[in-house]
Structure 1
Amino acid sequence: MTVYIFEFIGTALLLLLGNGIVANIVLKGTKGSDAGWTGIALAWGIAVFVGVFVSADVSGSHLNPAVTLGLATAGKFPWELVPGYMLAQVMGGMMGNLLVWLTYKKQYEATEQDPEAMLVTFSTVPAIRSPFWNLVTETIGTFVLVFGVFYIAGGTISDEPIKLGALDALPVALLVMGIGFGLGGPTGYAINPARDLGPRIMHAILPLKGKGSSDWNYAWVPIVGPLIGGALAAWVYLWIGI
């Protein structure tokens, strides 16, 4: 049970700080509207650092169903723990965005005439909507993330399980920053089903005046793309066999 609790806590911190910067930039009445994409990429890296550092020594800091799936596919994580980890991650994403909403409650009220601005503080929205190519983008970005995690946390292939430790927090954070700067523009780089699904559920159920649609027609892309990317990363890691 403890490992699930720390996956929940780590993912909640990830979303609180990550989507907190998005809210600070796009909502009306904040002091951070000039931070721009650089601020978003840096803040998401810091969010990953905090989430990983806090939960690393207990749960291994997956914080992402795509990472959990990739590790299990490579034989580095027990399949019986996968459903509990994924549930904890989605619930952590919900809690993180609940805290974002509470933090920016008055700013959400001031932004009630801009439903898309409110939505992007919860879930990803593509810059150009093209589901197939959005799926490709999410798959590539997540492949880079999970493939990098294998070598940051595990190094060479062996029978030993892989888990992120506290000392891995900084390199994983830098990896996520690099993905944000290099690959994040087309879709907003979910690269994590829990990062998108949990907050999207909260957008649907929270009493946000004028929030508009939660865009469930697009929601499958940031779920399926990252899961494909995580599995592909595991297969390539095993195929290389180093």
Structure 2
Amino acid sequence: MHALYQLLQDLKGYKWVNLTHEVNDQIPIYHTFNPLQEKQISKMEQDRVHSLEYTIGSSHGTHIDAPSHFAEGKRTLQDIPQNERVLPLYVIHLEDKVKDDPGYAVTVEDIKDFEETYGQIPEGSFVAFSSGWYKRFDDPDAFVNKDKEGVEHTPGWSIPALEFLSRTRRVTAIGHETLNTDSGVDAAEQGFLDAQYYWLAEDKYQVELLANLDQVPAVGSIIFVAVPHIKDSPGFPAEVFAVIPNN
């Protein structure tokens, strides 16, 4: 058997985990976007063809943010090659901390604690923050989690943690389960998504609104990020999945 065929056969023997939410017109979306719109183009009964036209935001559902989403002059979606979207996956599980503090932001200390247990995160990896927040996805109000003052209490990354991953560990990409990179409290205090800007300005991509990270072990998995090839796009909904160990 050819080596790549054997590799594929081997991969299919592992467990595959869907990390992608379904997109519909009821899902939580960033406030600058409109909900998904669907238009019937042709009908099977009269045209013998079923065709639909969708109007969808570049950040709807599980999606990839290219660096150009926030950073002018940085890479667009088509500039990110396929082999940069298939990566070793490291998952930092902080569900308990987020349960105690919905506005928790990942720290450098969290990353170092992770490495003390699992070893140093290697260059070229994808690092995901598992918060358990994806379980709120079907309830947009609970997902955004605003207080009476309109501040969102949602988890995210701290800038020092992102700087450590980018400059010290030189990872390729990050991912999380929320709408934004920043915690909601940090974003409100800053008046902007400073952590998101920092990461994308490093010319690195991220995946937002990931699902089912709690089913993925801390180490030993591979992540696949499949996206369409749209000219000059700052991002787009993606199909994301992981191949994980059977045990």
Structure ranking higher in strand proportion: 2
TM-score, normalised by the number of residues in structure 1: 0.25
- Name the larger-Rg structure: 2
TM-score, normalised by the number of residues in structure 2: 0.24
Structure ranking higher in helix proportion: 1
